[in-house]
């Protein structure tokens, strides 16, 4: 009979720590998110200019305009995924949790966009109106993320501060459009192109600025 002298495994033996379970981002994933952000933003900007923010449009034009906004939202989902993977807002639990909350708000905003495109008869339904509120709420959440990225300093170069301007879309465009309603379309589209579309290009062209420096 043999007697083992190996120590008993502790409960944590063989279990990867939280950091180990974190899937590190890659240059390819950051670049793909940048392209998705740039394409989605440019598409919605074009939709705003062509369809005049969806005002006085036909049913077909409503669907096309809604689709342009939907592409923008999907680009933001990819952007937030990269921000989460790179821990752009910081490594703390609260910083990461807020990005998960933003993903949830974007998901609800996407549901609102799909409802408007596919079942416009429900637009005045209280549930649809409540869902529609997540469009501006998700954009305000992006603004808070942009501020946090600049403070955290984990992204470098233009990638650190460009989100601060790009993700200020809601607090800049909404009051500016209210003050200058005749220019609402150009203001919204212009901010998208200079802000989110260019941010997407920054990530696509220099994805390494979002990744940890090699030691």
Helices 93-118, 134-152: crossing angle, 10 deg rounding: 150
Contacts of 172 (CB under 8 A, 6+ apart): 191
Numbers of helices and strands, H then E, in the chain: 10, 0
Give pLDDT, residue 21.
57
Tokens of 13: 């033996």
Q: Answer yes or no: is pLDDT of 64 > 80.
A: yes
User: Smallest Cα–Cα separation from 163: which of 185, 187, 144, 186?
Assistant: 144
Q: Where does the pLDDT of residue 102 fall: very low under 50, low under 70, confident under 90, or very high at 90 and above?
A: very high
CA angle, corner 166, sides to 85 and 197, nearest 5? 85
Exposed (0-12), middle (13-18) or buried (19+): which is 189, by Cβ within 10 Å? buried
Query: What's the predicted TM-score (pTM) here?
Result: 0.86
Give pLDDT, residue 212.
87
């Amino acid at each position: 009979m043999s007697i083992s002298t190996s120590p008993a495994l502790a409960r944590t033996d063989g279990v990867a720590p939280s950091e180990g379970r974190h899937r590190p981002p890659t240059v390819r994933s950051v670049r793909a998110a940048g392209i998705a952000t740039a394409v989605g933003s440019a598409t919605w900007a074009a939709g705003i200019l062509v369809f005049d923010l969806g005002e006085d449009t036909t049913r077909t034009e409503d669907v096309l305009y809604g689709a342009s906004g939907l592409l923008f939202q999907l680009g933001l989902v990819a952007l937030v995924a990269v921000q989460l993977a790179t821990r752009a807002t910081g490594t703390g639990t609260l910083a990461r949790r807020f990005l998960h909350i933003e993903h949830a708000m974007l998901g609800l905003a996407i549901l609102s966009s799909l409802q408007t495109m596919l079942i416009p008869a429900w637009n005045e339904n209280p549930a649809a109106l409540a869902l529609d509120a997540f469009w501006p709420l998700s954009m305000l959440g992006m603004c808070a993320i942009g501020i946090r990225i600049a403070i955290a300093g984990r992204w470098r170069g233009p990638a650190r501060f460009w989100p601060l301007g790009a993700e200020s879309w809601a607090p800049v465009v909404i009051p500016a459009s209210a003050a200058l309603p005749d220019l609402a379309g150009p203001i919204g589209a212009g901010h998208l192109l200079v802000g989110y579309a260019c941010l997407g290009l920054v990530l696509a062209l220099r994805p390494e600025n979002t990744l940890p420096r090699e030691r």
